[in-house]
Each structure stands twice: as C-alpha cells, then as structure tokens.
Amino acid sequence: MTTVLLTGATGFIGGAALAYGLSRDPDIRWICLVRGNGMAQARTRLLENLVRFLGAEAAREAILRVEIVVGDITVPASLEDRRLDAVTHILHLAADTSFRAQEHCHLVNVEGTRALAARAGRMPHLQRFLYGGTAMICGGNPPPLVRESDAPAEAAQHLVPYTRTKVAAETMLRHEFADLPVVMVRPSIVTGHRTLGCIPSSSIFWMFRAGDRLRLVAGELAGGIDVVPVDWTAEVLVGLLTKPALAYDVYHLSAGEAKRTTWDSLAAAFERCDPQGSPRRYGRFDDGDWKTLRSRFQAVFGLDQPIKVAMLRAMRAYYQFSTLGVAFDNRRLTDEGFALPPTLSDYLPVCLSAPANLSILDQFADDLGMFDGAPMVQENLVQAKPVAA
C-alpha cells in the first residue's frame, strides 16, 4: 500500500494537497503530522483546514481516512511514532513562511527538515521524499530565467529569512542525506484557487488587489509575475509524489515564461471585473522608491491603524520580489506530462467573487503573521533598507 506522510497539512498548500489526494485515490493511506495539545486539538485544526477546501460534510467524511500523528518536526521525539515505519512516500510542506522571524525560520525550515530526514532514513519502505522548497533559490540578484537545473547559489543575498532557510534546507538535504530518494519541488507564488477563489485563503491575493487600487506595479510595465493557483499546485504535487518514475530530482511548480501573468492582462482582467472603476493605467514602481509607495498607500488606504502600517510593510516586501522580474523555467514539469497552469488573469474573477465583500484589509489578515513582530514605527517605512533586513 502507498502510505504518505504529509507535513504542513494545516497550511494552504498542504491542505490543498491533502484534499486533492483524498479525492483522487481512495487506496492511498494518508498520515498527517499535526501540531496540537493532544489529539482533539490536532484533529480540529486539520478538520478546519479541510473544510475550506471540501466543505463541512465532505471534510468530516474525508478526515476519517486520515491518520493523525500529533507531533512537530522541531521535536524529533514526536517523529518516533511506529506508524511512520510503514511510510512509502513523504510530502514535506511544513514551513515557517515568516519574512521576519529568522531564528524560528531556521529552527523549522532547516533543523526541522533535518530531523524529518533523519527519521526518513529509518523508514524501511521509503520510495520518495518530496521536499517543498522555493523557486526563489536565486536570491536578490537573479538571472532573468531561473532553470530547474540551477543549484542554490551559496553567495546569493536573500531578501527574507524564509527563502534563505529554504535554500539552506535544500543544500543540507543534498549534502547530508544523499542516500535518501529526495525530489525537490520549488513552487513560485501560489495564490487563489481556480474554483474556490480565496475561500481557502486570501494569502498574497490581497497584494494584487492592493496594487490594482494603487495603480502601481513593480518592475517593467511590459513584464509580469510568476503566479500559480493552489489547486493546480496540489495536483502537480500529488502527481509528482505518486508517479512511478521521475526523470529528474528537481522541478519548478511555476507558470514559466509561457504562462506568466502580465501586468497588461491583469489590468484588463480587473477592468472587466470592475467596469465601474476607472481605467487601469498602472504606474511603475522602481526598487527603492519607498517614498512614492508610502505616499500613494497613505492616500488610498491611510496609515491610521497598525494593521495598515503592517500591510504597507508587507507590500514593500512583495514589491522587492516583483521588481526582480524573474521567471522560473518549468520545462521538466511539462516533460513529465503535467499541464501548464492558468494565468492569474484567467481565474481572477472567481478570486474576486469568492468569498464576496471581503475588503483588502480583511484579506491581508491571512498574511499578517508573516510580518508581525516588527516595530510599528511609520518612519521605518521610508528607509531605503529592505523591509526584512
């Protein structure tokens, strides 16, 4: 029997992967490592996340087919559950995605992965270890096209602890656990769902709405950004996990050059969805022009609440990534027979309509935890330093 150990099942991508996997193949045995103060809390956390993807009734039925191990990758003793000895496939998606918490990012993303890999080495039936990394292996000075064959650059200067620690974990797996059947999967920007819109999560999608409101995009106006929906990401993850043989050990889960979302197409999509709004004539934000971003943000949203200050800080971080103008090649993925994703412009209408009537500020709350802990000092927001430095 195929027995999958999934970490990160209570997260956005992990929840989508579990929901898709449960609906795709009833013969797969799913074991989820879930944090919690006891089984009841862990089960409640997992159920609440499945409800976002499947609805209440289907989620209650689906969770009956999931075995829960209450544990944490940062607590190696919790990985000693004997049920893990039967694991044939690992889908490791648990991560600290914070843009600021450097020490905790390292603890979870590097040391937690090391502990899981050590336990994987004692799983006698293990066939594949799918490690969820990041396409941003290239740091803050990338080439125009990052290829799947590219290795993380040791000298790369990363903008945030999240990407730095994910790259460190990938390097660690290669050097310390070369005997494990590890396959690296590197997602680009994952936001929205093709049919559920932002019901599962509005993570990152609020940033596109905010940029549209500001009429300000990062980088070349003729350029774009690599974005993929979470349900497509889940399908590819489960497909790569269970496909009998793979030709490579690294894949980008990305839009690639063919399916990048261009700013022009996004502007047209927003106009179609909001015909009463003014025509979309986006201006260009250049890296380092924080005063322009701040003044426009203040005029549109105001800076009268701490959460708005945090949202401006978050936009500043995302704009830094966007100004890089990088694309992530996905030729290996298409060689394996996987379909290309839609552009964000294609599924923008459902993201704007489901759920209805949520403000941009409400949607930003999904990502607030990535940016909390920073001092709420407005003067810091006009500095030329990177927000996560």
> Quick one: three-class SS letters along the chain?
CCEEEEECCCCHHHHHHHHHHHHHCCCCEEEEEECCCCHHHHHHHHHHHHHHHHCHHHHHHHHHHEEEEECCCCCHHHHHCHHHHHCCEEEECCCCCCCCCHHHHHHHHHHHHHHHHHHHCCCCCCCEEEEECCCCCCCCCCCCEECCCCCCCCCCCCCCHHHHHHHHHHHHHHHHCCCCCEEEEEECEECCECCCECCCCCCCHHHHHHHHHHCEEECCCCCEECEECHHHHHHHHHHHHHCCCCCCCEEEECCHHHHCEEHHHHHHHHHHHCCCCCCCCCEEECCCCHHHHHHHHHHHCCCCCHHHHHHHHHHHHHHHHHCCCCEECCHHHHHCCCCCCCCHHHHHHHHHHCCCCCCHHHHHHHHHHHCCCCCCCHHHHHCCCCCCC
Cα-trace Rg, the chain: 20
pLDDT value, residue 385: 28
Residue 388 clears pLDDT 80, i.e. is over it:
no
pTM of the model: 0.92
pLDDT, tens digit, 9 for 90 and up, residues 295-334: 999 999 999 999 999 999 999 888 887 878 888 999 999 9
User: Which CA distances in Å does 234 have to 42, 239, 321, 365?
Assistant: 22, 8, 24, 23
- Is the pLDDT at 92 greater than 80? The verdict is yes
Q: Apex CA 161: angle with CA 180 and CA 307, to 5°? A: 130
Tell me what the mean pLDDT of segment 20-30 comes to.
94
First-to-last C-alpha distance (Å) of the chain: 47
Q: Is the pLDDT of residue 153 over 80?
A: no
For the stretch 128-161, what's the b/e string if a residue is b when 16 or more beta carbons lie within 10 angstroms of its beta carbon? bbbbbbbbbbbbbebeeebebebebeeebebbbb
pLDDT digits (tens, 9 = 90+) for 253-274: 999 999 999 999 999 999 999 8
Does the pLDDT of residue 389 top 70, yes or no?
A: no
Q: Strands 283-285 and 89-92, how do they pair?
A: unpaired
Average pLDDT over residues 63-82: 97
132-146, 194-208, 210-224, 237-251: which has the minimum mean pLDDT?
132-146
Q: What is the mean pLDDT of residues 235-252?
A: 97
Provide the pLDDT confidence category of residue 138 given band limits of 50, 70 and 90.
confident
Instruction: Encode pLDDT of 183-217 as tens digits.
Output: 999 999 999 999 999 999 999 999 999 999 999 98
Closest CA to 188 of 62, 306, 324, 69: 324
Supply φ then ψ for residue 137, to 5 degrees: -75, -10
- State how far the Cα of 296 lies from the Cα of 183, in Å rounded to an integer: 43
Q: State the Cα–Cα distance between residues 163 and 367, nearest whole angstrom.
A: 16
Average pLDDT of the chain is 90
Does the domain at 3-193+226-258 match CATH 3.40.50.720? Answer given as yes
Domain regions of the chain by residue span: 3-193+226-258, 205-224+260-325+343-382
